[in-house]
Amino acid sequence: MPVRPSRQKAKRLRRQRNKLRRQRNKHRTTAFRTTDELQKFGARVYLLVEMDKKRYVYNSDLSGSWPPSREKIVSTLGHSLPSHSTQLANISGVLKQSEGYSLPVEYGPGSFTKDGNK
């Protein structure tokens, strides 16, 4: 019995969604592996990825002092904002309700070892 066109379309859409999900996961994993490589060269790195209402965090410094706050970065660089200046920020994340998010999946040095973890 031939498959109806609507079932074929649904099956094709499912395959496309699964392929897209695999590609996103692959790119996310590549970003974390690259971040881990930078850490091995002495860089302190913090990477936050938000996808599909999940947050993934890589922090190379487990002491809790990294990443620095925005104020700390600005003061360290010696820049200050002129008075009466306007700062633009992407607030889309602030406007989203956090109730839909689970705790972030966290990675750190050693998460991407040669023994096949992650």
pLDDT digits (tens, 9 = 90+) for 29-50: 898 888 888 888 888 888 888 8
Residue numbers of the domain that contains 76: 5-83+97-107
Contact indicator for 105, 57 with CB cutoff of 8 Å? yes
Residue position matching structure tokens 């996961």: 25
pLDDT at 60: 86
92 domain-assigned: no
Average pLDDT of the chain, as a whole number: 75
93: number of Cβ within 10 Å: 11
101 domain-assigned: yes
Share above pLDDT 90 across residues of the chain, in percent, rounded to a whole number: 12
**Local structure of 87: helix, strand or coil:** coil
What's the start-to-end Cα distance of the chain, in Å? 43
The total of structural domains in the chain comes to 1
What tokens appear for 26 in the block?
A: 């692959």
113 domain-assigned: no
Closest CA to 113 of 56, 52, 39: 39
34 domain-assigned: yes
88 domain-assigned: no
The strand pairing partners of 57, in sequence order, are 48, 106
